[in-house]
Structure 1
Amino acid sequence: MASPSKVDPVREDGKVIVQFRNAGSAPVLAQQKFKLPANAKFEVATQLLRSKLGLTPQDSLFLYCNSAFAPPPDELIHDVAQCFHVGGILVLNYCTTPAWG
């Protein structure tokens, strides 16, 4: 019996699909999935989300992988996706108050 193939979260175009899911009272995004460069730092995901939510730099924003782990801003999206992707998609939960950890 053949084993299932391992899904690579990095697409042929060098991007990772990131899906943002709100938690708590954080607003829901109209568009939840985005393609981000795999070689970009994780802070790019945070900046994109801040922009889409209309948050200022002073507003609190927390991002989590697997509802538990908060990646550091200088971690590469590729590395986070390799460890935490689900079916080739990096799912990030976000909230405006600390929810997990």
Structure 2
Amino acid sequence: MAPGSGSSSSSSSSSPSPQESSPSLPPSYPPIPLSTSIILDKFTPPTPPNDKITLRFTPIGSTPGITPNVLKISGDRTMVVISQFISKKLKTKSVHLYIQNTFEPNPDELVYDLFRLFKTNNELIVSYCLQVAFG
């Protein structure tokens, strides 16, 4: 065995390769640019404010209207509160609520979240009926 070949094999096995010594992120997590990381550090998710949110109620079909048809409610309330309010006004046990005549929100959905996503003219339009109207 030649002395030069034995020493080269021992030196390559003792020194780690550059890829092994530096930690790397998994391929699904690319590095974040510095400008983005600075903004993300300062970002705090919005919390539901205690400010009042304007709701406009519109009946669907032959469902009777309620008064008042415009109401202000705290943003940290859930849709259950609105459902109970309309049920009480209509003197019925159940009512179906729709946001902009499109979908029926979950009962535990916050009014603030729906308002933030689906507001029209700075108010949330909530349609209601006694039977299922859409779907």
Please tell me the TM-score bracket, short chain as reference.
0.7 to 0.9
Which structure 1 segments of 5+ residues have no match?
1-11
Higher helix share: 2
Report Cα offsets for 1:29-56 as digits up to 9, x if no partner. 131011111011111111111111122x
Residues 25 and 96, structure 1, Cα contact 8 Å, conserved in 2: no
- Report the Cα distance in structure 2 between the residues aligned to 1:21 and 1:51, rounded to whole angstroms: 16
- Report the Cα distance in structure 2 between the residues aligned to 1:68 and 1:80, rounded to whole angstroms: 13
1:25 equivalent among 50, 59, 62? 62
Asked which structure has the greater RCO (Cα within 8 Å, sep 6+), the reply is 1
The alignment-based identity, stated in percent, is 30
* Structure 2 length-normalised TM: 0.60
Tell me the matched-pair count: 87
1:36 aligned residue: 73
2:96 aligned residue: 62
1:5 aligned residue: none
Higher strand share: 1
Task: Tell me the C-alpha RMSD between the 2 structures.
Answer: 1.5
- Report the Cα distance in structure 2 between the residues aligned to 1:61 and 1:31, rounded to whole angstroms: 17
Question: Runs in 1 of length 4+ with deviation above 4 angstroms?
Answer: none
Point out the structure with max Rg over C-alpha.
Answer: 2
